[in-house]
Amino acid sequence: MDNKTPHSSSEYDISVKKTIPFYRYFHEQTVDLVMTIKPDAKKWLDTGCGTGFLIEKALPVFKDCIFVLADPSMEMLMMARNRLGCHKNIKYLDPVRTEDIKIKTSKEFDVITAIQVHHYLNREDRIKATVNCYKLLKDNGIYITFENIRPENDWAIDFQLDRWMDFQLLEGRSKKDAAGHRKRFGVK
């Protein structure tokens, strides 16, 4: 696979929407939240940018903002470039994980987003990634992340996995594909 997800970069946008409930709303809500809290954002880092879907939504709203896109997968960065082009307000970093992003000056960004990114990391690296985001964030900046979480007991885990399977089936996934995603739960 050309990235850490079970979806190839070329099929990511279609597949992820059929796999993660409310995925399409994460991005809309993120843009809305930034519009409400930081309507004058000048610099935005999207770490784990994937195919550029979030920034495609943000670009028309934040016309004067510089967007810096980072992802550990070269293939995902290429998909983002194909989607967003060579827009003057978009800068692409070389492939890099969140915890390894280095910028010349700390506290550079008004907004940092990490949408469905850090759950692929082990606990120690998730902490490093989050700490690095806060180092890169300006005082009074906003850090937004959406992640998968593990329920606290076996009953809740089974309940949520059943709901997740139902969602995938409603989105047109086959029982085999949905069951395959379910088997990934708890596996790194």
pLDDT digits (tens, 9 = 90+) for 3-35: 455 555 556 555 666 666 677 788 889 999 999
pLDDT at 187 over 90: no
Max intra-chain CA distance, the chain: 50
User: Domain 9-146 adopts which CATH fold?
Assistant: Rossmann fold (3.40.50)
For position 10, what pLDDT does the model report? 59
Residue of 62, 37, 132, 119 lying closest to 93 (CA atoms):
132
All residues at 6 or more sequence positions from 141 whose CB lies less than 8 Å from its CB, including other chains:
38, 107, 109, 110, 111, 112
Write down the pLDDT at residue 60.
Answer: 95
Three-point CA angle 63, 37, 141, nearest 5°:
85
Residue 106 one-letter amino acid: S
- Residue 148 and residue 159: Cα distance in Å, rounded? 15
Domain boundaries defined on the chain: 9-146, 154-183
pLDDT value of position 95: 96
151 or 102, greater pLDDT: 102
Supply the pLDDT for residue 12. Answer: 54
User: Global pTM?
Assistant: 0.78
Beta strands in 18-171 (DSSP E): 43-47, 66-70, 90-92, 109-115, 137-146
Residue corresponding to tokens 């906003």: 142
pLDDT at 5: 54
All residues at 6 or more sequence positions from 88 whose CB lies less than 8 Å from its CB, including other chains: none
Residue 42 pLDDT: 98
One-letter amino acid identity for 172? Answer: G
* Closest of 21, 79, 75, 20 to residue 55, by C-alpha: 79
The Cα 88–Cα 141 span in angstroms is 23
What percent of the chain has a predicted confidence (pLDDT) above 70? Answer: 87
Conformation bin of residue 126: beta by default, left when phi > 0, alpha when psi is -120 to 50 = alpha
Backbone angles phi, psi at 46, to 5 degrees: -110, 105
Say what the pLDDT of residue 125 is.
93
